[in-house]
């Protein structure tokens, strides 16, 4: 029996979460180091997955299959394709940076967080619980990228909401313009809204999961897909469409897609910066990943039927998110609306039904995770120094903290997909793939690029340039720990922007197989003959 690498990659952070939570209350620092070491160990296991994965091999590799609930045909089935292994790598990569960036986010509040902070001194915060919850989320996200049993995936899809609820509601941002009681109310509202939206999506998905079992007699993704491909399993058109909509609705809430997006700005605004990164760079990727793995593979005809409407919704997300980002006064909410716009690009690329679009969408998931982490974590360092999330409370920061301003600029330029940085390749492929099949959508979506340049550059100008405001005078530059968090992310943005081949080699075979599932081929280029 071979070593269960996929199980180990998810089990290590799960066990680490239990061990971290069990550390005595007086040993806060030990709990932090334990969580960090566990996350680094998980990264090593994810790297081994990448090394052992053969892009030209079987579709699902490193597979594991064990009986779980025999009476209902539920199995503990795992396997990774190129898309899954890339997103597991992204998750395992970001968690150590999230932990390091949030090193002091759960410390006791013995002093004010900033000039405008009105939190009560000495408020107790369970440090061990904060880091244990982060590791628990990592375990569930990794396992969801590995699950090939639909029921197992559903359990993980829903279970990850619990630790995220406590991370948002219990460990909110200290830089709040309102008093302690009002801030707690806002955190509670954001956490409940996050939970309710995703629970409603999950309940609709549960009905679809049950319906799928009734129709197919199995929860195994491989068995159902094989039966559909061979013609031994036929779904009535209306049945397939209803099941598709049940799955897609849940994934569109998680992603999120307009008009199901409204929970994200609240959640990211009230969470700490590392938790905000966990939400948008890690957890939300489960939604877009599941569209590729489950919607397109299980319901190919329904996916093609729904494509025009989904492409329109994706374009609306791109423009709507970018427009609202332009008008934001809160730094973190600006990044949240920018992420809604970016998820629109990802979903548009998936449902463009072209190899360029789907390759770009997969790359976008990875590159958006890295760029958003870089920008949001630097923004978190900035906010922790000033004690305010309002853009108007800053000015002239580059004169007193040039390294902080420089890293903030690079993160912002990556967010607007500057050529030479990783997101540019993703966005270019999505637009090319979309334009070849839906030229009108591709043209309108390019407006999102213009708006992205507007909100990023205006944000930088208002916070970093101009006269130095009295409140930021003497602001310290990035410390060693903070540089160790940001520098590798910026290095990756540059490396993958110049040389994306390592990623494309991994994801392209999986994209070709997905295109085969939906029986779509890339449109032939139209070349007008010379007159």
Per-residue pLDDT, 530: 54
Report which listed range, 136-140, 174-178, 227-231, is most confident.
Answer: 136-140
Q: What is the pLDDT of residues 66-86, one digit of tens each?
A: 888 887 778 899 999 999 999
Does the pLDDT of residue 120 top 80, yes or no? no
Residue 525's pLDDT band, with cuts at 50, 70 and 90, is low
Region at 452 (left for phi over 0; alpha for psi -120 to 50; beta for the rest): alpha
Per-residue pLDDT, 145: 95
Asked whether the beta carbons of 28 and 108 are under 8 A apart, the reply is no
Per-residue pLDDT, 118: 35
Among 344, 340, 397, 407, which Cα is nearest to 373's?
Answer: 407
Does the pLDDT of residue 257 top 60, yes or no? yes
All structural domains of the chain with their residue ranges: 5-517
Q: Which of helix, strand or coil describes residue 330?
A: strand
Does the pLDDT of residue 529 top 60, yes or no? no
Distance CA 35, CA 14 (A): 11
Among 66, 84, 63, 85, which Cα is nearest to 75's?
Answer: 66
Does the pLDDT of residue 528 top 90, yes or no? no
Which of these ranges, 108-117, 351-360, 369-378, 393-402, has the smallest mean pLDDT? 108-117
Per-residue pLDDT, 58: 86
Q: What is the mean pLDDT of the chain?
A: 88
Which of these ranges, 47-51, 63-67, 373-377, has the smallest mean pLDDT? 63-67
Which of these ranges, 137-146, 204-213, 373-382, 466-475, has the smallest mean pLDDT? 466-475
Asked whether the beta carbons of 303 and 350 are under 8 A apart, the reply is no
Tokens (6 digits) for 91: 């998750």
Q: What is the pLDDT of residues 88-108, one digit of tens each?
A: 999 999 999 999 998 888 776
Distance CA 245, CA 53 (A): 32
245 phi/psi in degrees, rounded to 5: -65, -35
Instruction: For residue 22, count CB atoms less than 10 angstroms from its CB and return exposed for 0-12, middle for 13-18, buried for 19 or more.
Output: exposed
Residue 320's pLDDT band, with cuts at 50, 70 and 90, is very high
Asked whether the beta carbons of 299 and 233 are under 8 A apart, the reply is no
Among 299, 243, 20, which Cα is nearest to 138's?
Answer: 20
Q: What is the pLDDT of residues 193-209, one digit of tens each?
A: 999 999 999 999 999 99
Does the pLDDT of residue 119 top 70, yes or no? no
Per-residue pLDDT, 228: 80
Q: What percent of the chain clears pLDDT 90, i.e. is strictly above it? A: 58
Asked whether the beta carbons of 489 and 414 are under 8 A apart, the reply is no
Peptide bond just before 256 cis, omega within 30 deg: yes
List helix spans (H) across 26-179. 28-52, 82-101, 127-146, 150-159, 161-170
Average pLDDT over residues 256-268: 90
C-alpha angle 495/403/327, rounded to 5°? 85
Average pLDDT over residues 424-451: 91
More confident residue, 310 or 26: 310
Distance CA 21, CA 406 (A): 37
Residue 384's pLDDT band, with cuts at 50, 70 and 90, is confident
Does the pLDDT of residue 63 top 70, yes or no? yes
Distance CA 365, CA 510 (A): 15
Does the pLDDT of residue 522 top 80, yes or no? no
Among 91, 89, 172, 99, which Cα is nearest to 134's?
Answer: 99
Q: For helices 127-146 and 161-170, what crossing angle results, to 10°?
A: 150
Does the pLDDT of residue 517 top 90, yes or no? no
Distance CA 76, CA 147 (A): 8
Q: What is the pLDDT of residues 213-238, one digit of tens each?
A: 988 888 888 888 888 877 788 888 89
Does the pLDDT of residue 44 top 80, yes or no? yes
Average pLDDT over residues 479-491: 93
Per-residue pLDDT, 178: 53
């Amino acid at each position: 029996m071979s070593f269960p690498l996929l199980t180990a990659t998810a089990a290590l952070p799960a066990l680490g979460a239990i061990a971290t939570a069990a550390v005595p209350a007086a040993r806060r620092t030990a709990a932090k180091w334990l969580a960090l070491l566990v996350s680094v160990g998980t990264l090593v296991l994810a790297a081994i997955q990448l090394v052992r994965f053969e892009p030209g091999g079987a579709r699902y590799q490193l597979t594991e299959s064990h009986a779980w609930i025999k009476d209902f045909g539920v199995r503990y089935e795992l396997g990774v394709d190129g898309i899954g292994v890339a997103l597991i790598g992204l998750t395992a990569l970001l968690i150590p940076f999230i932990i390091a960036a949030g090193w002091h986010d759960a410390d006791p509040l013995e002093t004010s967080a900033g000039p405008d902070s009105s939190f009560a001194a000495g408020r107790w915060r369970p440090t061990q619980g904060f880091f244990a919850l982060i590791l628990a989320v990592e375990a569930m996200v990794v396992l969801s990228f590995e699950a090939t049993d639909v029921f197992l995936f559903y359990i993980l899809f829903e279970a990850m909401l619990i630790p995220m609820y406590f991370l948002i509601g219990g460990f909110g941002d200290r830089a709040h313009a309102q008093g302690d009681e009002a801030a707690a109310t806002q955190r509670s509202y954001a956490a409940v809204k996050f939970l309710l939206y995703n629970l409603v999506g999950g309940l609709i998905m549960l009905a679809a999961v049950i319906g799928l079992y009734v129709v197919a007699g199995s929860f195994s993704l491989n068995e159902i897909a094989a039966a559909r491909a061979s013609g031994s399993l036929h779904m009535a058109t209306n049945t397939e469409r209803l099941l598709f909509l049940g799955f897609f609705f849940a994934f569109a809430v998680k992603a999120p897609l307009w008009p199901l997006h409204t929970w994200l700005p609240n959640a990211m605004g009230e969470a700490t910066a590392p938790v905000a990164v966990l939400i948008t760079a890690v957890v939300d990727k489960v939604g877009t990943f599941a569209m590729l793995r489950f919607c397109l593979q299980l319901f190919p005809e329904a996916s093609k039927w729904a494509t025009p409407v989904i492409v329109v919704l994706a374009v609306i997300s791109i423009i709507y998110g970018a427009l609202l980002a332009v008008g934001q006064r809160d730094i973190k909410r600006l990044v949240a609306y920018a992420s809604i716009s970016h998820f629109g690009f990802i979903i548009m690329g998936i449902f463009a039904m072209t190899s360029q679009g789907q390759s770009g969408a997969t790359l976008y998931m990875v590159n958006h995770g890295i760029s958003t982490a870089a920008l949001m974590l630097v923004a978190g360092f900035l906010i922790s120094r000033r004690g305010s999330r309002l853009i108007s409370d800053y000015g002239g920061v580059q004169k007193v903290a040039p390294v902080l301003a420089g890293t903030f600029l690079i993160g912002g330029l990556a967010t607007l997909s500057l050529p030479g940085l990783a997101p540019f390749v993703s966005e270019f492929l999505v637009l090319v793939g979309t334009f070849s099949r839906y030229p009108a959508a591709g043209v309108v979506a390019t407006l999102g690029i213009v708006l992205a340049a507007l909100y990023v550059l205006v944000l930088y100008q208002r916070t970093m340039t101009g006269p130095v405001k009295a409140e930021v005078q003497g602001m310290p530059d990035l410390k060693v720990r903070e540089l160790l968090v940001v520098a590798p992310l910026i290095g990756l943005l540059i490396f993958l922007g110049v040389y994306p081949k390592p990623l494309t080699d991994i994801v392209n075979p999986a994209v070709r197989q997905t295109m085969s599932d939906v029986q779509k081929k890339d449109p032939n280029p139209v070349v007008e003959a010379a007159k």
